[in-house]
Chains A and B, each alone.
Chain A
Amino acid sequence: MYEHDVIVVGAGGAGLRAAIAAHEAGSDVAIVSKLHPVRSHTGAAEGGINAALQEGDDWELHAYDTMKGSDYLGDAPAVETLAQDAPEDTMRLEHWGMPFSREEDGRVSQRPFGGLSYPRTTYAGAETGHHLLHTMYEQVVKRGIQVYDEWYVMELATSDEDDPNDRSCHGVVAYDVQTGSVEGFKANDGVVLATGGPGQAFDHTTNAVSCTGDGHAMAYRAGAPLEDMEFIQFHPTSLPSTGVLISEGVRGEGGILYNANGERFMFEYGYANNSGELASRDVVARAELTEVNEGRGVDDEYVHLDMRHLGEERIMDRLENILHLAEDFEGVDGLVEPMPVKPGQHYAMGGIEVDENGQTCVDGLYAAGECACVSVHGGNRLGGNALPELIVFGKRAGRHAAGEDLGEPQIRTGYGDDVEDETETELPVQPGSAGLESSGGVAADGGVATDADGLVERAVERARTRVDTLMDRDDGVQHAEIRQKLQNAMTDYVNVFRTEEGVKKALRIIRECREEYQNVYVDDPSRTFNTDLQQTIETRNLIDVAETIALGALVRDEFRGAHWRKEHQERKDDEWLKHTLISWDDGEPDIFYRPVILEGQDKTYEPKERSY
């Protein structure tokens, strides 16, 4: 058994930042990641980091834009914390040597992004995430922080009290991808999940193949609720054939969207008369698909993004990476022709419910980054707000896990007297576990072990049994088949436009996937680098996460942010200024709600109509 004070799971932006912060707080910290840190998906982020750095801008404006962007589903204490901490945390990256783009006077450059009232997006070309990831990994190397790379975390070691609020997390179980060995990692002070997004639940996604919602699923089965999972961001500009992301920076610099008739449709058809292409992402994604659905799409599939008029010099200076992506993945030269783009699954606004200090309702279990929901993004994340979230809340989670006192959080977590617990929506199928294998079983079965060592040992035994069962089965269905079916269902029915009937269909297919998973088997008998085994376990996680997304999308019968419902074309503030929470209750999802916090430090954010 390995032992550290703080175990960080995942080595993208949030995980690295959490590890650095925990280390600075004097903790013995280790990172356990299924990828080598520089392979993490944070590296694919392009646009930039929102931070109020300049005169004329201030954190309150950033907070206001974020609350508006969230369609008033962000929690003000979290949003204000983000806006207040982002400037210093961004500057810290600069002091760690991050190669930001510069102004003539040597100051870091900032550019406009969608939904921002001030050009506050700090960036490094169109490859900000790559530089952020590498800069933070460099700091991890500098500090000598232990990294267990290519170790796949399968289970949490959590106690098994009935009420998740009484449970505690003491470590994780991980599988050494190189050797196949399953080992325990005991965390004396805390486990920080920083496992990124669940984009692989969808077929057309900008997300890496590794984004399988592992942290979501593990925390969920350990009793921490998943929050606002229905809010999935579809980025307006992904390449049609691959899902590769074309940064919002293109529109930020002045790129224009055209339909097949050559019309600048954002204005021409009144989707966003003020901001046009720079309206927030949900607005632009819907506009593009409406164009396609009404027959004005190119090849009935996509629209054009044109940046030619920006000129070669400006493109090379600020968007060079986009030229390479369009060329390599779509065969289009962005200097001489417009690029084909369509909406692609991009980001999960929801995630593991945490407070401003990154803590879940399970003692010792933290989450940060895309796998967490603080919540700062509410119904719709503004471009440029994901990277500051990583550094701000990654840092806070790391410090708190290491034992630093960050003060009493204003956001509450878990099941308590402030939640509302009734759902009238009729479900088309019985969701949740099917059969014993997939029941998750996160707490120590039988409740024999109560000490930390015993809990970790029990979890290791459970994980070894699980691996042996998968490997011993000789026949059945392979994960790739189930995964593809799941991804297609989500893309077909829980996409930008959602109907009650469609979402119910998705839930039925998810149920089928669950049942088929009972017979899943691993064909590769090797213990060496068995990606078949790893992907089989990931697929189980995707099923759980996809189900929470579809359930959330079904019960929220309103139109808010990225969540569009055909039968409900209005935002229902009277009823729905609340978060959807789904917790795993003895093998079944339990849905409940917690009111959104609109009271900030000095003011209340009154919901207004969101127009751009």
Chain B
Amino acid sequence: MSTQQQQPEEPQSQEAPEDPEMRGAESPVDEKEKQGGDIDQQTTPEEELEGETVHIKVFRYDPEVKGKQEPRFDDFHVPFEKGMTVLDAVMYARDTYDSSLTFRHSCRQAVCGSDAFFVNGKQRLGCKTQIADLEQPIRIEPLPHQEVVKDLVVDMDHFYDQMHTVEPYFQDEDTPNPADLEEQRQSPENREKIKMSSRCIWCGACMSSCNIAAGDNDYLGPAAINKAYKFAMDDREGEEIKEHRLRILEQEHGVWRCQTQFSCTEVCPKDIPLTEHIQELKREAVKKNLKFW
């Protein structure tokens, strides 16, 4: 066994929230981060970390196991390697020190969207967040505003439900027969228009960062609205269906709830201009004289 043993500290219950379901905006964050400190700033050059260990503080909670029901942070010291990501660090900690450390992950290349965590006070994908870019100790928590299932795993059901609310599937007006090998034509410009919106990987980071979604459970939220944008702006569906889609988005808990705080846009790991898409849908609705709230 390596000399880099886990160094458990006293459970920091004074810092930990009492009810894991209520975590989120109330989550403990460093003063600096509260003040909007620049946590993205490259604080430790990679060369300086060579041969060093990285100190991560990982949120732990298991509703079932005695002694783990009280939320706490566990400290792990992980040997640094060039290019190491937050996901690499928690995987190392799990495989070497504590196999019960639980988190979702799969592709390791920012496309499956499983490993969105709250890292040093910001929603990020573990697999594409470089350790060298973060201030230590690195605090890794589950996504705020979602119910915690265990450790870093949150319940995604509400997120998926919202995604499904916007009828997230193509609705063609009259398409040619695919057997004739004839496609619905789409201009490169129109494809370009929907390109960014089509990149969403359903990681949930945007929803978790959104104050409005946190306060209004029925708000469709940035991810679902962006999904609807992708279809509404796709010329192939035709005007009638576009209007149907806009009506869904115009509902009381739709686009007008957005207060353009840009937090979703800021955290999106795929750089989707979510806030802009929401504003554009508001403009479309006004143009079409749809009811708005």
Contact = CB atoms under 8 A, between A and B. Distances in A.
A87 B181 contact: yes
B18 to A, nearest CB: 20
A41 B112 contact: yes
B195 interface: yes
Interface residues of A, number: 67
B184 interface: yes
Interface residues of B, number: 63
A96 B194 CA distance: 15
B292 interface: no
A241 B83 contact: yes
Given A38-B201, A209-B106, A531-B102, A328 B186 contact: no
Interface string B211-235: 0000000000000000000110010
Interface in B97-151: 98-100, 102-114, 128, 130, 149-151
A99 interface: yes
Interface string B188-199: 100100110011
Given A36-B160, A328-B110, A330-B83, A526 B65 contact: yes
Interface string B167-178: 011101001101
Given A41-B112, A101-B191, A524-B100, A88 B181 contact: yes
A237 to B, nearest CB: 13
B112 A39 contact: yes
B150 A102 contact: no
Interface in A480-516: 480, 484
A53 B164 CA distance: 33
A141 B199 CA distance: 18
A252 B263 CA distance: 38
Contacts of A244: 108-109
A242 B108 contact: yes
Contacts of B95: 480, 484
Contacts, number: 171
A44 B181 contact: no
Given A91-B183, A130-B201, A532 B99 contact: yes
B76 interface: no
Given A99-B195, A329-B83, A527 B188 contact: no
A94 B179 contact: no
B65 to A, nearest CB: 5
Contacts of B107: 39, 41, 43-44, 208-209
Nearest to B189: A102
Interface stretch (A104-112, A357-365, A425-433, A578-586): A104-112
Contacts of B178: 88, 91-92, 94-95
B109 A242 contact: yes
A469 B283 CA distance: 61
Contacts of A480: 94-96, 99
A214 interface: no
A138 B168 contact: yes
B191 A88 contact: no
Contacts of A101: 188, 191
A246 B87 CA distance: 20
A141 B102 contact: no
Interface string B59-103: 000111100100000000000001100000000001110111011
B50 to A, nearest CB: 14
A139 interface: yes
Interface in A183-228: 208-210
A127 interface: yes
A99 B149 contact: no
Nearest to B153: A529
Interface string A36-63: 1011110110000000010000000000
B106 A41 contact: yes
B62 A43 contact: no
Given A44-B112, A208-B108, A524-B100, A95 B83 contact: no
A528 B62 contact: yes
Majority secondary structure of chain B interface residues (helix, strand, loop or mixed): loop
Nearest to A109: B188
Interface string A531-543: 1100000000000
B114 A39 contact: yes
A44 B109 contact: yes
Contacts of B234: 97, 99
A139 B172 CA distance: 12
Interface string A127-143: 10011001100110110
A245 B110 CA distance: 12
Contacts of B236: 97
B181 A102 contact: no
Contact of B113 (A38, A102, A135, A331): A38
A339 to B, nearest CB: 14
B137 to A, nearest CB: 23
A331 B169 CA distance: 36
A523 interface: yes
A39 B183 contact: no
B184 A526 contact: no
Contacts of A479: 99
Interface string A240-277: 01111100000000000000000000000000000000
B187 interface: yes
A102 B201 contact: no
B150 A529 contact: yes
Contacts of B230: 99
A609 B168 CA distance: 49
Contacts of B195: 99, 125
Interface string A319-340: 0000011001111000000000
Interface in A281-336: 324-325, 328-331
A95 B187 contact: no
Given A97-B170, A523-B99, A528-B149, A127 B111 contact: yes
B156 A36 contact: yes
A607 interface: no
Given A99-B194, A125-B195, A141 B168 contact: yes
A452 interface: no
B185 interface: yes
B252 to A, nearest CB: 23
B181 A96 contact: no
B15 to A, nearest CB: 23
A80 B63 CA distance: 54
B254 to A, nearest CB: 19
A127 B99 contact: no
Interface centre among B169, B178, B183 (most CB of A within 10 A): B183
Contacts of A447: none
Contact of B82 (A38, A241, A522): A241
A130 B202 CA distance: 11
Contact of B105 (A96, A209, A478): A209
A244 B202 CA distance: 20
Given A97-B234, A528-B150, A130 B199 contact: yes
9 contacts: A44-B107, A88-B178, A99-B230, A102-B186, A138-B168, A209-B108, A210-B106, A245-B109, A329-B128
Interface of A: 35-36, 38-41, 43-44, 53, 87-88, 91-92, 94-97, 99-108, 125, 127, 130-131, 134-135, 138-139, 141-142, 178, 208-210, 241-245, 324-325, 328-331, 478-480, 484, 522-532
Given A99-B191, A530-B102, 8 more contacts: A39-B113, A43-B107, A97-B172, A105-B185, A209-B107, A209-B108, A325-B109, A329-B109
The 3 closest A-B pairs by CB, nearest first: A97-B170, A106-B185, A524-B100
